[in-house]
Structure 1
Amino acid sequence: MSKELRDICTNYGINHLIALSGFHLVVLSFIIYWIFYYPYSFFHQKYFPYRNKKYDLLIITIFLLFFYLLLTGIVPSLLRAFVMFCLGIFLLRSNIKIFSFETLFFTFLIVIALFPKYLFSLGFWFSIMAVFYIFLYIKYFTFKNKIFHLIFFNSWMFLIFNPIVHFYFPATSYVQFLSIIITIFFTIFYPFEIVAHIFDFAIYF
């Protein structure tokens, strides 16, 4: 990425959107799951109907995401998301609550056990802290209105995470408040951009 583009992302406070992390992994896992769903359903129904189809598809998804993780050079924030994804499937299979601070803590321990050097990775710590504040939000805020949820959640993440980011990166401006709106639209933009790349019209965006 060019320095000019990095500066733009910093000025608008949207570095979290271009960093490979949980959101990207969720979108990719969703796409992989549904690409294999119908072909696998055919073989599942014909040859091994006794197996848990959804669990098998999630295992296939894990393997392909692991290959993607290797291709990216094992980015710390993406590794955190991948370990959490695998741990989540295990907990789901065992009927244990997924969204909990304990899950995040075990994810932290697993990543550090595999890669002790990530103790000194700022990207990894930002990733852990972001999930911590997401879980904190889930724990204390339960609005019924989904639109209000979307706006308030992104505002919460921006306001609570900004002091931490500015402790390490002094660049600040009023336009960073646009980060809240840009983040909301990115939720739609990123999946659409994947489709645009597949059908070769991404250049228009």
Structure 2
Amino acid sequence: TFIANQHNDERLKKLFVSLFFETRLPDFLQQKINEFGLSAVMSLSGLNLSLLVGLIFLVITPPYRYIQDIYFPYRNRNFDILLFALVVMIFYAYLAGFAKPFMRALIMALTAFILSLRGIKIINFTTLAVTLAIMIAFSPRSLFSIGLWLSVIGVYYIFIFLRQTNFSKVWQSYLFLGVFVFLAMSVIARFLFPLFSLAQLSSPITSVLFDFFYPIEVVLHIFGFGYLFDKLLTRGLDIDVSSLSIPTPELFFYIFLLLSVLSYFRKEAFWLLCFSSATFTAISVFVAF
């Protein structure tokens, strides 16, 4: 393919095709991704959609503003560009085989777009519930998709964080949101996939870096320069990471789920959720040492 041909290393060929089109990775490469705690960013989901929409805004806004000011200044520029971006995302979803986590994010974006036209608050749990209902209605098998449910839970934790915190600075919310979601999702994910490594602790940092890495790689691959960071990425894949199995205890898992639900209603439950997830990770680090 056009993407794969830009790389010489077979691992990078498979890695980028999977990153852009949600193809299945070989077991050895998936193991490496899990060891580094990169499974979330490697999944084609809402993060990718938001970054792509942001990239479209960045590229389209300057020329569109120039044309709009001359020919149709009465138009809502943000509305037009967002509508165009969503159409592009629908086509991209088709190219990616309608990957379920990405479709969840796309349906949520379309739902939010429609609600915003009616002046309805869009960042709420109703939007998430409606999105999930639509997904299941169109594809009942989605009900049994672990990836979809992990994606939904991840969004739920984002909403919980935004609901129960009130940081004065945007960068503070951005930073602590990444840490909170990592800690909370670690408890959930390791009940299903108990692999743990110390390298996973870098996940909040790599998630921030991914926000820049992904759109840059999209642009580079569009113009045929996807190989520019191959040496650096190859060195990363060559790093030997030791890992071990530390599953989430069943009783703790169910208590954690209960706290997750209660966190919607009570701030005390939210902070207890934060404490318990941080404690679980701290114990895992101690065991790993």
TM-score normalised per structure 1: 0.89
The 1:4–1:44 alpha-carbon spacing in structure 2 relative to 1, beyond 3 Å, is same
Q: Does 192-201 or 5-14 show the bigger shift? A: 192-201
Q: CA deviation at 1:10?
A: 0.7
Q: Give the whole-Å Cα distance in 2 for the aligned partners of 1:180 and 1:38.
A: 32
In the alignment, which of 107, 113, 123 is matched to residue 137 of structure 2? 113
Structure with higher RCO (Cα < 8 A, 6+ apart) = 1
- The CA distance in 2 between the partners of 1:148 and 1:38, in whole Å, is 29
Alpha-carbon deviation of 1:43? 5.9
Q: What is the 5 A alignment of 1:61-80?
A: 61-80=85-104
Q: Deviations over 1:104-133 (max 9, x none)?
A: 111111111111110011111011101000
Q: Following TM superposition, by how much is the alpha carbon of 1:165 offset from its aligned partner in structure 2, in angstroms?
A: 0.3
Q: What SS class does the counterpart of residue 143 from structure 1 fall into?
A: coil
| Structure 1: gaps (5+ residues) | none
Distance 1:147 1:47 in 2: 38
Please name the residue that 1:180 is paired with.
204
What is the Cα deviation at residue 54 of structure 1?
Answer: 2.9
Length-normalised TM-score, structure 2: 0.65
- Aligned with 2:196: secondary structure? coil
- Per-residue deviation, 1:48: 5.2
Task: Name the CA shift for 1:28/1:13 in 2 (closer, same or farther; >3 Å).
Answer: same
- The 1:54/1:154 distance shift into structure 2, 3 A limit, reads closer
Provide the C-alpha distance between the structure 1 equivalents of 2:186 and 2:225, rounded to a whole number of angstroms.
Answer: 35
Q: CA 1:141 to 1:173, structure 2 compared with 1: closer, same or farther past 3 Å?
A: same
Identify the match of residue 156 of structure 1 among 157, 177, 180.
Answer: 180
Residue 92 (structure 1) aligned with residue 92 (structure 2):
no
Structure in which a larger fraction of residues adopt helix: 1
The one-letter amino acid paired with 1:131 is V
The number of aligned residues is 205
Distance 2:44 2:56 in 1: 17
Quickly say closer, same or farther: Cα 1:41–1:146, change in 2 above 3 A.
closer
Structure 1 pair 174–46 and aligned structure 2 pair: CA distance change class (3 A): closer
- How many Å separate the matches in 1 of 2:169 and 2:70? 43
Aligned Cα root-mean-square deviation (Å): 2.0
Asked whether the equivalents of residues 55 and 215 of structure 2 are also in contact (C-alpha less than 8 Å), the reply is no
Corresponding letter in the other structure for 1:114: F
Cα distance in structure 1, aligned partners of 2:171 and 2:86: 31
What pairs with 1:1-205 in structure 2 (closer than 5 Å)? Answer: 1-38=25-62, 40-41=64-65, 44=68, 50-205=74-229
Residue of structure 1 equivalent to 2:258: none
User: How far has the Cα of 1:102 moved from its partner?
Assistant: 0.8
